């Protein structure tokens, strides 16, 4: 077993609607293509994360989990004020976490804003789930106290979207201090989410090593496939924006090279996601 711990699946727009508050028209990204991308590298398990343009309708995510038949887990988006008894059914289909999106402009239109973190954490706690947070570093640290005292696994997306901050900066040190907590996890994903090189596939070695030195047992790798377009390329709800032209193979291979340790690589791809998401690490 190897796991890609951060992906999205997108249906054709004619088959499934996207929310009115979206900031671009997302193109199809089928599960079959994702599975084919991972196969050459032994990646056969996937964590599907709800994208902003589907709002709180997790239908596409759930259908993909059904198709993966136990080789997938889902991170859903729910309105914590109206989440009902269907949450148990979602768990049975593979949803293991709830996402708080403080990054995407579209998320603000469907109740995904910064005020939801504590409410979503309470909902996740009551239902035996983890919480996943995507936020630029400044906003993430605004909620540092809430993350620090949480009693459930809390997963930070994309190296904490550190921007120009370095690990040795005050903001970087605060982020790493969060990662020192036994319940905080980091997704080592999306090295291209930077203004100076939006097609970058090379992990920032300083940040990678800082995260691995802090919590090698609570880091996982994710491709962020199909590589969402930068916000400045979002042209409105009816304007298609292409996915970033990034090679899945190159992204994966550069990550493995940057880690440089085969045993640690297997922990990041197999052992750690197996513990976080409840997979069988011995599955072959």
For residue 213, what are its two tokens? Answer: 């030195």
Of all residues in the chain, the percent with pLDDT exceeding 90 is: 80
Q: Is the pLDDT of residue 225 over 70?
A: yes
Question: What does the pLDDT look like over 39-77, one tens digit per residue?
Answer: 999 999 999 999 999 999 999 999 999 999 999 999 999
Contact residues for 94 (Cβ-Cβ < 8 A; gap 6+): 62, 65, 68, 70, 72, 73, 74
b/e map of 205-227 (b: 16 or more CB within 10 Å)? eebbebbbebbeebbbbbbbbbb
Burial grade of 256 (CB within 10 A; 0-12, 13-18, 19 or more): middle
pLDDT in the model for residue 114: 45
The residue that leads in pLDDT, 83 or 45, is 45
Give residue 145's region: left, alpha or beta (phi > 0; psi -120 to 50).
alpha
- Kind and range of the H or E element at 189? strand 184-189
pLDDT in the model for residue 172: 98
Over range 255-261, report the average pLDDT. Answer: 98
Q: Is the pLDDT of residue 16 over 60?
A: yes
Residue 124 within a domain: yes
Residue 118 within a domain: yes
Q: Is the pLDDT of residue 284 over 70?
A: no
Residue 136 within a domain: yes
Over range 256-273, report the average pLDDT. Answer: 98
114 is in which domain, residue-wise? 3-277
Q: How many domains does the chain have?
A: 1
Q: Is the pLDDT of residue 83 over 80?
A: no
Residue 282 within a domain: no
253 band by pLDDT with thresholds 50, 70 and 90? very high
CB 267 within 8 A of CB 3: no
Residue 232 within a domain: yes
Residue 284 within a domain: no
236 band by pLDDT with thresholds 50, 70 and 90? confident
Contact residues for 83 (Cβ-Cβ < 8 A; gap 6+): 123
pLDDT in the model for residue 85: 65
Question: What does the pLDDT look like over 93-142, one tens digit per residue?
Answer: 999 999 999 876 655 655 544 458 999 999 999 999 999 999 999 999 99
Question: What does the pLDDT look like over 183-215, one tens digit per residue?
Answer: 999 999 999 988 788 999 999 999 999 999 999
Of all residues in the chain, the percent with pLDDT exceeding 70 is: 94
The whole-angstrom separation of Cα 259 and Cα 205 is 9
Q: Kindly report the CATH number assigned to the domain that includes residue 241.
A: 3.20.20.140
CA angle 200, 61, 132 (to 5 degrees): 60
Residue 193 within a domain: yes
Over range 258-283, report the average pLDDT. Answer: 93
pLDDT in the model for residue 80: 86
Burial grade of 195 (CB within 10 A; 0-12, 13-18, 19 or more): exposed
Residue 173 within a domain: yes
Q: Whose CA is closest to 249, among 227, 220, 267? A: 227
**Mean pLDDT of all residues belonging to the chain:** 92
Give residue 245's region: left, alpha or beta (phi > 0; psi -120 to 50).
beta
């Amino acid at each position: 077993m190897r796991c890609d711990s951060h992906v999205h699946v997108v249906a054709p727009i004619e088959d499934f609607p996207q929310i009115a508050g979206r900031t671009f028209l997302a193109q199809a990204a089928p599960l079959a293509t994702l599975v084919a991308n991972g196969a050459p590298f032994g990646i056969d398990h996937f964590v599907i994360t709800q994208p902003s343009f589907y709002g709180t309708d997790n239908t596409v995510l759930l259908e993909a989990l059904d198709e993966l038949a136990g080789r997938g887990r889902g991170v859903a988006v729910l309105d914590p004020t109206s989440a009902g008894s269907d949450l148990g059914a979602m768990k049975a289909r593979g949803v293991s976490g709830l996402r708080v999106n403080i990054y995407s402009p579209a998320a603000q239109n469907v109740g995904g804003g910064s005020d939801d973190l504590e409410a979503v954490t309470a909902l996740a706690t009551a239902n035996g789930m983890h919480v996943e947070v995507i936020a630029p570093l400044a906003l993430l640290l605004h909620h540092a106290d809430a993350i620090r005292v949480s009693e459930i696994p809390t997963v930070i997306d994309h190296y904490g979207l550190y921007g120009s901050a370095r690990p040795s900066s005050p903001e970087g040190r605060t982020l790493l201090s969060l990662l020192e907590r036994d319940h905080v996890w980091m997704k080592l994903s999306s090295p291209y989410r930077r203004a100076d090189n939006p097609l970058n596939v090379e992990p920032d070695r300083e940040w990678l090593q800082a995260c691995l030195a802090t919590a090698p047992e609570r880091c996982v790798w994710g491709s962020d496939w199909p590589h969402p377009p930068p916000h400045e390329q979002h042209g409105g709800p009816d304007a298609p924006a292409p996915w970033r032209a990034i090679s899945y193979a190159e992204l994966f291979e550069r990550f493995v090279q940057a880690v440089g340790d085969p045993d640690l690589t297997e922990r990041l791809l197999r052992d750690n996601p197996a513990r976080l998401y409840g997979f069988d690490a011995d599955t072959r």
